[in-house]
Amino acid sequence: MARNICDVRLLLFVAATAFIFIQVESESQCTSQMRLLIDQISIQQGKIVALEEAKKLQDEEYVHLKALVQDLEKKGLQSLLNHLEVPVAAVVIMACNRPDYLQRTVQSVLKYQTSVASKFPLFVSQDGTNPDVKNVALSFKQITYLQHLDFTPVHTERPGELIAYYKIARHYKWALDELFIKHNFNRVIILEDDMEIAPDFFNYFEATASILDSDKTIMAVSSWNDNGQVQFVHDPKTLYRSDFFPGLGWMLSKSIWDELSPKWPKAYWDDWIRLKEIHGERQFIRPEVCRTYNFGEHGSSMGQFFKQYLEPIKLNDVHVDWRTMDLSYLTEDKFVRHFAKLVADAKPVHGGPDAVLKAHNIDGDVRIQYRDQADFEQIARGFGIFEEWKDGIPRTAYKGVVVFRHQTSRRIYLVGPDSLKLLGLEDA
């Protein structure tokens, strides 16, 4: 009996030991599994964090790439628009053998042309082979270089004439044919290699281009006033029509060039345009204050009139936003009424040797009648303005009237014998 009890106790002990062992083993396995599960969770959390970091980087990269694409699209579109944009006018600087002058002119033009280069592509046309002039032109990447080579002997029509005037006329015809016919520009602005330009030069020509196109009574637009010396100008916003071709920085259209090119003269092209048989009833737009300044004391004209008439020219230094201005008063029907009123409102003064003194003693605008060219020259000499006429027309004149400022804002009108009738002011 006692032995059986011992056997039972032994069995119970063994069973308890086995149970404990099983429990310990089970707990050990649970602990291992828990650790494994924790490790796996940690690994997955690490992957999540890594994925979140990768997504963050991808988002940042996406934003960067999107901005880059938008910028490229914008630039590409702008480039495309630039290529599609029709230029307002080609600008050509006529050059020959003055590299220092050309350098100064190009630098002045580029100062204001760079921001509007697509509207006003820039050319230099050289007549001849002067290497220094060519090197100056080619040193500017913004310029398209043209070279006129014509070694045909020049035969002057009258003894004592300068060959240079014949060569200049040849060069002009060649260059304008190149730009209008070969390059197919609608308008061209012609500068010479001894000019500086005003800050609003390109704005001025852009604003007047539509008038040149639409008003067939306008032959060209000029940036020059022959009586633009500092003592004779006041208002940078004032424009006039003129029967006298000013030149010296001017714009013409392809239709006008198609007319002029076949009959272009052998020499003295500017005086040729001033002939009534060439310009007919058409006129020219000019400013009161010049948009170009001619610094060329030495050249084909041998400095003619330079000290008296060219050196004192006032180059506009005020920025005028021509695009915001109503220039419709320049059309033929409106301008004649506009100008007639200005002349009618001016106080009449008799001419003669003391005309300047009489005008000086009167407040407000003054008009002085001249009888003929000799009388005009005497009065003009007294004031110090240009005396010269071409084919019966005084420089700057509109219907025989020459207007300039005297003592700042006051206007002086020198009125021809037929001017009041032409302006519809017979009774004035």
List of domains in the chain: 88-329 (3.90.550.10), 333-422 (3.10.180.20)
Q: At what angle do helices 99-113 and 131-138 cross, to 10 degrees?
A: 20
Q: How many residues does the chain have?
A: 428
Map tokens 């063994």 to a residue. Answer: 14
**Which residue type does 197 have?**
I
What's the 3-state SS for 106-161? HHHHHHHHHHHCCCCCEEEEEECCCHHHHHHHHCCCCEEEEEECCCCCCCCCCCCC
Contact 185, 209 (CB under 8 A): no
Distance CA 88, CA 206 (A): 6
Just list the catalytic residues.
270
pTM above 0.95, yes or no: no
> pLDDT tens track of the chain, all 428 residues?
555 555 656 656 655 565 665 555 555 665 666 677 676 766 777 777 767 776 777 777 667 656 655 655 554 445 544 556 799 999 999 999 999 999 999 999 999 999 999 999 999 999 999 999 999 999 999 999 999 999 999 999 999 999 999 999 999 999 999 999 999 999 999 999 999 999 999 999 999 999 999 999 999 999 999 999 999 999 999 999 999 999 999 999 999 999 999 999 999 999 999 999 999 999 999 999 999 999 988 764 555 568 888 999 999 999 999 999 999 999 999 999 999 999 999 999 988 888 899 898 899 999 999 999 999 999 999 999 999 999 999 999 999 999 999 987 999 999 999 999 999 997 66
What type of residue is 80?
L
Residue 288 and residue 103: Cα distance in Å, rounded?
Answer: 28
